[in-house]
Amino acid sequence: MKREIALFGAQCLRQPCAPVAVVEDAIRALVADLFDSMHAATGVGLAAPQIGVLKRVCVVDVTAHQPNCRPVALINPKITGREGEQIGEEGCLSFPDLYSDVKRYAWVEVEAIGLDGQPFKTAGEGFYARALQHEIDHLDGKLFIDYLSPLKRQLMRGALKRLKKESAAQAKASAIDSI
């Protein structure tokens, strides 16, 4: 089921997420919703807090950029290896139409739990490594704009203010919908 994606300014984007104790049907449904929401928004990754769920769950699908990388669901992911550095353009579904160059590790290895409840490792470089790091950051309440210089953030100030207003309106509409 496609869910609404929280915009910059939403409190859920700045809160660290709780680990998942047991992979059960509710977590598998959350993963399905993450994939549905990400694909509907034409994204390459989405983390649970972006749809208002403070659990350490995210999904990544970079097959359009790196066809050899399969879509992956990560539960309780943790970066266990890192090498090199890369600088590349990054955006975020919680920041529509905002992009900036961000420095990341060139290669990362991640340990996580799969939908079957079993631990696994995934590793990659380039765009896949960037997406993994970006989504895991979300689980810690960290956003891609946190990597930007004060000058770059200042240049985005108007757009960030607009997003905060939209986020407040989104929250107000959600509160009205739930009455």
Residues marked active site are found at 135
Q: What is d(CA 163, CA 55) in angstroms, rounded to the nearest whole number?
A: 24
Residue 2's CB is within 10 A of a number of other CB atoms, namely 13
Q: Which residues contact 34 (CB under 8 A, 6 or more apart)?
A: 46, 47, 48, 51, 57, 58, 59, 73
- Where do the DSSP E strands lie in 84-157? 86-92, 95-104, 107-113, 119-125
CA–CA dist 162, 118 (Å, integer): 42
Give CA separation, 56 vs 20, 126, 138, 150, 177, in Å. Answer: 6, 23, 9, 29, 27
